[in-house]
Amino acid sequence: HLGSPRQWQSIPKFLNLEDIERLVRAPEGEGPVALRDRAMLELLYATGLRVSELCKVGLHDLDFEMAVLRVTGKGNKQRLVPVGRSAVQAVQRYREAGRPALLKGRASRFLFVTARGGPLTRQAFWKLLAKYGRKTGIFRGLSPHVIRHSFATHLLERGADLRSVQTMLGHADISTTQIYTHVM
């Protein structure tokens, strides 16, 4: 009649602020691919999106004036996520210079596109993240979800409340978000 003891959940891996800054600066130059990659990394860290949500961001989902991103998450649920100034600026630079160069006159409803004009896939983003991780010397299990964990951890470290972080991450249950309090 005894219940087994609860297993501890593993604490999510996250990067410190210096590693995040190095990673975001890793795409060098002003070429269209570098502009796209920098904008994607900035937006991923600034919003805590899942990689699938990042790849599906539409051309008109970011309101530049309000600095708010409309995200369609799991179960087709929509949420609004505030976006930091540097991420908004990186996306603006990409939209003005990088995206038209990649599309070469073709149309796409997606914000982040490949040189062929299609949307960037989750797998392609994983590869480019691994490339920038190697370039910056960040090898310890770098993944898009580690950036998401870093976003949540850094917000809580700076005094954000758990409910706000839950909303921004799109978690249905607060207990999913509470794991970040154990990190601290």
For the chain, the helix, strand and coil percentages under 3-state DSSP, each to the nearest 5: 55, 10, 40
Q: Which of 13, 70, 79, 145 is the catalytic position?
A: 145
The reply to whether 74 belongs to the active site is yes
The pair of structure tokens assigned to 69 is: 């991103």
Q: Which of 25, 74, 140, 182 is the catalytic position?
A: 74
Euclidean distance between CA atoms 86 and 14, whole angstroms: 21
The reply to whether 158 belongs to the active site is no
The reply to whether 50 belongs to the active site is yes
Q: Which of 50, 56, 99, 149 is the catalytic position?
A: 50
Q: Which of 99, 148, 149, 154 is the catalytic position?
A: 148
Euclidean distance between CA atoms 99 and 103, whole angstroms: 6
The reply to whether 1 belongs to the active site is no
Q: What is the largest CA-CA distance in the chain?
A: 69
> Which one, of 168, 175, 147, 164, lies nearest residue 44 by Cα?
147
Q: Which of 36, 38, 99, 171 is the catalytic position?
A: 171
In this structure, is the dihedral angle defined by the CA atoms of residues 66, 113, 53 and 78, taken in order, positive or negative?
positive
Task: Give the active site residues.
Answer: 50, 74, 145, 148, 171, 180
